[in-house]
Amino acid sequence: MKYTITLLPGDGIGPEVSASAVAIVEATGVAVEWERHEAGLRAVEAGHGTLPEATLDSIRRNKVALKGPITTPVGRGFSSVNVGLRKALSLYVSLRPVLSWKGLKTRHDDVDLVVFRENTEGLYAGREHEVVPGVVEALKVITADASTRIARYAFEYARWRGRRKITVVHKASVMKLSDGLFLDCARAVAADYPFIEVEEMPIDRLAMQLALDPTKFDVLLMENLYGDIVSDLCSGLVGGLGIVPGANIGSSAAVFEAVHGSAPDIAGQNKANPIALVLSAAMMLEHIGERVAAERVRRAVGKVLAEGKVRTGDLGGKASTTDMTKAIIAALPAIEEVTA
């Protein structure tokens, strides 16, 4: 079978890490026709705005996209491309798996957790205004529908992946109505999954517990702002954003992305670490049903990191993007090794 997938190469180092991910996906033998579209700075420079309608149409048509890091120009009139994608395509699930890798020295060696972040509302709904000069008001929007659907997705994910515990994160002691509603919706969904352990934890306590011992956690479920902060915090526990994949998923489309920046200071120098986008591509392969190919990519990344011979600058080495790409392709296990 041949798949048609939208590719947003991105800005800065985006085209380099995107080329790496594409090469590794194709090395698995999965047949993909890539529809290339622009967004962000490159799209603005071409006169199409930050998020061209042709880009959105391609994702709507193909249902799946792989996205490199994108720069949103700083200044009035330029909205975030990431927020624009989530709103336009109703990508209500932000999914960030966080995993320790052998060969990388971090404070904790056996982290294996997943962060679920509601992606469409909360303070990130962007509803704010100036009441009077010097006084600004921002509205935190929480709805039962959005809270219930993200909770349902997280519990279904846990059920199918054999994960046994979900921590619902909140600050309902202060925001009794908004966080209270999110918590109530999670409780209602949890009642349908009596075989999954559920705990509730205030966001400040979670931050402390993650710093002390993140291995106690399995699946984290939270609203938008908390999820944005906690997902990056968790990435730092295992080595940084350069090795953590991400996905934004909705009912009719999914965008898989590296969540690090576009790093314009090293763009075009063949220095960027492609692993985050490569692992995001593995998530994409799994999403379209190519689970064996996805596992081959993950195992290849794990082997390269464990051996420690090929490391980009952010990982303490001197290897180029090209070196890392070639090493991962060379490390791809045979299909028989994965299916045996």
Judge whether 213 counts as a catalytic residue.
Answer: no
Assess whether 111 and 233 both reside in one domain: yes
Q: Compute the distance between CA of residue 36 and CA of residue 241 in angstroms, rounded to an integer.
A: 24
d(CA 118, CA 224): 5
* Residue 340: pLDDT over 90: no
Residue 170 and residue 268 share a domain: no
Strands 135-138 and 128-132 come out as: antiparallel
Residue 67 within a domain: yes
Q: How many domains does the chain have?
A: 2
In the set 67, 171, 271, 326, the catalytic residue is 171
Q: Assess whether 114 and 225 both reside in one domain.
A: yes
pLDDT value, residue 40: 83
224 plus 159 within the same structural domain: yes
Taking only the tens place, the pLDDT of each residue in 280-296 is: 999 999 999 999 999 99
In a domain, 47, yes or no: yes
71 and 138 belong to one structural domain: no
Tell whether the torsion through CA atoms of 302, 97, 282 and 55 is positive or negative: negative
Q: Are residues 233 and 248 in the same domain?
A: no
Do 261 and 171 lie in a common domain?
no
Residue 286 lies in domain: 1-93+244-340
- pLDDT-derived band of residue 137, with 50, 70 and 90 as boundaries? very high
Confidence bin at 334 (pLDDT 50/70/90)? very high
Instruction: Indicate whether 171 belongs to any domain.
Output: yes
In a domain, residue 167? The reply is yes
* Residue 187 included in any domain: yes
Same domain, 202 and 299: no
Task: Looking at the structure, tell me whether residues 331 and 295 fall in a common domain.
Answer: yes
Kindly provide the b/e burial profile for residues 100-119, where b requires at least 16 CB atoms within 10 angstroms of the residue's own CB: bbeebeeeeeebebbbbbbb
> 224 with 119, same domain?
yes
Which member of 179, 218, 228, 314 is catalytic? 228
What pLDDT digit, counting tens, does each position of 164-186 carry? 999 999 999 999 999 999 999 99
Domain edge (last residue) among 237, 258, 287: 237
Query: Is it the case that residue 74 has pLDDT exceeding 70?
Result: no
pLDDT of residue 46: 80
Residue 102 lies inside a defined structural domain of this protein? no
pLDDT category, 163, cuts 50, 70, 90?
Answer: very high
Residue-level pLDDT at 50: 84
User: 301 near 267, Cβ under 8 Å?
Assistant: no
Res. 119 pLDDT band, cuts 50 70 90: very high
pLDDT of residue 78: 58
CA–CA–CA angle 26, 236, 205 (5° rounding): 130
How confident is residue 315, by pLDDT bands cut at 50, 70 and 90?
very high
110 is catalytic: no
SS3 of residue 282 by DSSP: helix
Is 193 a residue of the active site? Answer: no
Residue 263 has pLDDT above 70, yes or no: yes
Say if 101 falls within a structural domain.
Answer: no
Residue 258 belongs to domain with CATH number:
3.40.718.10
Query: Does residue 120 lie in a domain region?
Result: yes
Q: Give the tens place of pLDDT for each residue, 3-54.
A: 999 999 999 999 999 999 999 999 999 999 999 999 887 888 787 888 899 9
Domain boundary among 212, 237, 262: 237
Given 204, 213, 216, 309, the catalytic residue: 204
Same domain, 333 and 305: yes
pLDDT at 76 over 60: no
Q: Are residues 18 and 137 in the same domain?
A: no
Is 314 tagged catalytic?
Answer: no
CA dihedral 222, 257, 270, 263 (to 10 degrees): -50
Identified catalytic residue from 124, 153, 157, 226:
124
CA distance 28 to 43: 31
In this predicted structure, what is the pLDDT of residue 203? 98
Reported as a pLDDT band with limits 50, 70 and 90, residue 245 is very high
Q: Choose the final residue of a domain: 237, 254, 279.
A: 237
